[in-house]
A and B are shown apart, each in its own frame.
Chain A
Amino acid sequence: MNAVVRRSATAIDAALSPGALASGAFVQNPEFWKQELANDIAAALPLQAAAHRSDGWVTRPAILRRVATLMGASIPATADRIIAFGDAAQILGTAVALETGIPFCVANPRAATEAEFLQTGTLHAGERVAVVSVHLDAPDLLESLAGHDVVVVVWRALISRPADATMLAADSRIAAEFSDAGMVAAAHEGGDAA
């Protein structure tokens, strides 16, 4: 039996990776894939006060699944647990945990008492944790986690805001996939998000 998979030289958007056939057909160019995801998140933002609400996209599996894939890819194999917090934390934590197979918990850095810090799941001293969030809006989170005697290996946010620049520059463990400015531009003007 001979098996050949070929790709037409035409008729395909630039979306597919040139090396797709070597690794299996229909593999998208990673940059194009990420840009499409940014556009889709922007498109799903609600009409008003667009940038700071996530329910437009976290309720769509076609977007949430890709967000989990994107954020899951940046979580090192050494992570023992995922900590989700902030906007849509329960949904984001669940999605990234399903993607990676790593247990997760949901934290509230602004909890009034220590007993209220964990909203879902458990966290144990000595664990290496990966933080996931939609935004970077808890500058004291790392300090809180240090108090729990855990090691933060990475903090991955989906969308950064201009005010996060200092925080991003100060700690190499912290990174964001997209910028808020690009999202807003794409949501209101069409075209590609940065």
Chain B
Amino acid sequence: MTSKPSIGVEGAVALIDANRLEQFIERIAEITEAGPGVTRLAYSPLERRAHDVFRNRMCELGLTVTVDAAGNSIAELPGVAEGSSDAVGTGSHLDSVPSGGRFDGIAGVAAAVEVARSVVESGLPHRRPWRFVAFAAEEGARFGQACNGSRAASGVATSAGIAGLYDNGGITMAEAMASVGLRPDRIDTAAWASEDWHGFIELHVEQGNVLETSRTPIGIVDVISGSSRVMVELVGTASHTGATPMHLRRDALVAAAECVLLCEQIAQNSQHRGTRITVGKLDVEPSSITTIPGRVIFSVDVRDIDGDRQRTTARDLLSRFQVIAKERDVDIDIQIIGDTSPAILPTRLVDLIAAQARAHGVPYRIMPSGASHDTQQISKVTSAGMIFVPSQGGLSHVPDEWTSYQELALGTQVLLRALYALDLA
């Protein structure tokens, strides 16, 4: 390990380099399936290759790297305080959605690598161990469930619990994990112990446009939305569009359309400021110009920063979907596929990060996160905070996802300051 006389936290912060952040992100972006943007799905060989890059960088810096049964890669830099084992941590994830961008998750891992490099090269003394984490399988795009690696770290995931998760090709998550050398049968061993952690701060791209439109370079997250998700199947009668009179139809798509509009109507009323309801997937059968839709399957994603309101809204929707189905004489089958509570992040970490942003002379906003993040799971184990950096145009999960490397470097500098302050706290 490189060891130099310490130049203090200001010196370490000054070592944060936008070019190095860019190099890491571009290197990871090369690890992708063919096609537009970045496709590096959860528990795929490509995701593991990205983890290999992370591991190699950290080993080059002299850190000790371990990979747990869930595929999380954890690099550790020992602290100088004798007997201090409760670590300060940072990190994010390396997988992507299909045809996604290069920053979602990767920005936080790049920031972790850059913080590790600056701490090692500056010789910045720190009392506690610092851990840098690349979580596995954060995106729910492949298996329908998000934050799989961090769920294992938080102790939520179990071998039995993941048994029913499978992708569109019928491959179970357990099979996918095993195929890349992981141990789904031992996923419970990936759980972190609270006493091993002092706190965790994740840097992430905002994935919205609040920071950009307000010309603010830093967001500090105080709450992460929860989500309740269902798949709804409506079954009517497929028949000839010309021969079937309107009053004799059992059109599943018309019923679904009414459900979709109801979602928007509820999410926009005055009792739901902060609720976001989305029908993001809708499949119509037989999908023919001349056949009345006989079967529709659609997803509903209810997100909220208020857990009770989130679930009350979801219950209300399901009840009213059934009324709509009855009125339109179609059958309805609803399957609950996910439910996660919002996470209120500790005020002490919000205040700590804000103080470091002020010390760095950077404007910031306190803001909620509408998207799920690994921090949501990690907050069950230790005090956790989040730093957002701007997303150009508010775009994410698309090839055009972009954050300027200068803004990412600024966020990484605030992250390093915050980790150092947390180390001393």
Contacts and interface: CB of A to CB of B under 8 A. Distances in A.
A and B, one complex? yes
B197 interface: yes
A43 B383 CA distance: 8
B341 A191 contact: no
B333 A16 contact: no
Interface string B158-179: 0001111100000000000000
Given A190-B383, A191-B380, A3 B346 contact: no
A190 B341 contact: no
A68 to B, nearest CB: 10
Given A1-B330, A4-B332, A9 B199 contact: no
B130 to A, nearest CB: 17
A4 B164 CA distance: 20
A13 B330 CA distance: 31
Contacts of B414: none
B24 to A, nearest CB: 29
B291 interface: no
Given A44-B344, A190-B381, A62 B305 contact: yes
A1 B335 contact: no
Given A2-B331, A191-B382, A62 B344 contact: yes
Contacts of B400: none
Given A1-B330, A62-B309, A26 B194 contact: no
A26 B345 CA distance: 23
Interface string B326-358: 100111111111111110111110011000000
B345 A43 contact: yes
A46 B309 contact: no
A86 to B, nearest CB: 21
A14 B340 CA distance: 9
Interface string A49-81: 010000010001111011001000000000000
B347 A56 contact: yes
B351 A4 contact: no
B267 to A, nearest CB: 16
A65 B194 CA distance: 29
A31 interface: no
B320 to A, nearest CB: 12
A10 interface: yes
A46 B352 CA distance: 11
Nearest to B305: A62
Given A56-B347, A62-B306, A10 B163 contact: yes
Contacts of A7: 335-336
11 contacts: A1-B329, A1-B331, A13-B339, A26-B315, A28-B311, A47-B347, A47-B352, A63-B344, A66-B308, A187-B346, A190-B346
B145 interface: yes
Main secondary structure, interface of B, reads mixed
A26 to B, nearest CB: 4
A2 B332 contact: yes
Given A62-B309, A66-B308, A4 B384 contact: no
Interface in B294-335: 305-309, 311-312, 314-315, 318-319, 322, 325-326, 329-335
Contacts of B314: 25-26
Nearest to A2: B331
A27 interface: yes
A27 B314 CA distance: 10
A6 B336 contact: yes
A10 B333 contact: no
A1 B326 contact: yes
Contacts of A13: 156, 339-341
A65 B308 contact: yes
Contacts of A40: 344
A140 interface: no
A4 to B, nearest CB: 5
